[in-house]
Structure 1
């Protein structure tokens, strides 16, 4: 499992999003309170935003966030109206390397996933690959279920929620054919104007996911609430949230 978070609203510094809150995403890397498996998220981290040219930009590192010497300089220097972040606890068998570290970006979208698909390489990987147009299939550089699910989202049509819902429906239907496999499927995707998140699972409880519609003037989703503000709301399992700035 991982911990994920995304911010959409007034321009804010990376520090304000990443490590200033009392229970920030950075703190959740070593002090997560609601993880169903693992104890720390020490297998890399990443953050994404939209650059001045309107295209996604990503910083990723395979070190734990607390060991990455670049964090302080980036956090003090960068300010954006949108941030998407991830601290990673790698699924067994899916390597800890740059290509497997989230967030992912493509076709103008930024994506994060918290969870796993059990026995992914043997079960759904080939099924997803067969669904993809060649240009999307060729853009996959790693081996994670997360990146393949993002490719499947990009393959769909319609609004952001349409894309995410259609991809999730396919994954659920394929899992139903495989028997008793488990999957944790919390996902978030953005085009820079909207942020859509889903809390979902198959044959298992869904991982935690919260929304705050006015956190310091912004819309925020996070695996765990950043602070004690009572306006953080748990997203119901098998539910979508669509947020604007």
Structure 2
């Protein structure tokens, strides 16, 4: 399983969102509170994605402030899009608390939208950089907190249902990476993000009722998430929103999201609605 977090709001240091609060995402890597049977620690790598505008480098944001994520192939990768913000990413397969970039580099980068995750690898899946969320495509970033039993057969069947690209296109041999191939195919044809999450979750759960599917998706201005078995909370502040597996501080504005819900964050507003996925007695 994993812990993940998404932020949209005023520009903020990317690194601070990994370390903010007494129960920060970094702290959750070794002391999570709400794993719900999904392991005990999240020490199998981490990643963070952030968005910036292509012309941001030409603007003067003050000394020591970086607004870009490096060229593709560098440790900080960039996924360009033709219009709108560009998403960049930094990942490492080591425990987040061992990587000095979290304190020395990432705080120098600022963004108004961030998506991050720490990983607990499911038994039998590789511990490697390519297996760490966030996964990118175009202007999208994606994370999956959970697991899909018998995922190879399940996702092969789901991919066939949706006419997805080959699962061999997945970045890593994991359920999360393969799930992203299916989901990004729906996004590419214009499916509304919340509807795409609901469709994919429903198709998976019909075939694997014990799947755990807390999905987290961002595009640089909005956030979409599901709760299916694992915990999720939302913090609405003054002009910002955080969606996180666990609250990172004691701010009374945090509120838990019920299970089997779809969360949308658009224009700084949060909506929560039932997923309305019927899977019968086996999934209850």
TM-score under structure 1 length normalisation = 0.89
1:23, 1:217 → 2: CA distance? 22
RMSD (Å) for aligned C-alpha atoms: 1.7
* Structure 1: gaps (5+ residues): 177-181, 201-205
Q: CA deviation at 1:20?
A: 2.2
Identify which of 184, 197, 218 aligns with 1:154: 184
Q: CA deviation at 1:151?
A: 1.8
Aligned length: 232
- Is 2:235 the counterpart of 1:212? yes
SS at match of 1:124: helix
Q: CA deviation at 1:162?
A: 1.3
Corresponding residue for 1:163? Answer: 196
SS at match of 1:81: strand
The structure 1 segments of at least 4 consecutive aligned residues displaced by more than 6 Å after TM superposition are none
* Structure 2: gaps (5+ residues): 55-84, 269-284
1:72-114 per-position Cα deviation (integer Å, ceiling 9, x unaligned):
1223211100110100000011100111111101132111110
2:16, 2:100 → 1: CA distance? 18
2:103, 2:141 → 1: CA distance? 23
2:239, 2:249 → 1: CA distance? 15
1:183, 1:168 → 2: CA distance? 9
Identify which of 145, 149, 162 aligns with 1:114: 145
SS at match of 1:23: coil
Q: Is the 8 A contact 1:116 1:145 kept in 2?
A: yes
- Shift in alpha-carbon separation, 1:132–1:103, aligned structure 2, 3 A: farther
Structure number with greater Rg is 2
Q: Is the 8 A contact 1:25 1:87 kept in 2?
A: yes
Identify which of 156, 162, 179 aligns with 1:126: 156
Q: CA deviation at 1:129?
A: 4.0
Q: Compare 35-44 and 151-160 and name the one that shifted more.
A: 151-160
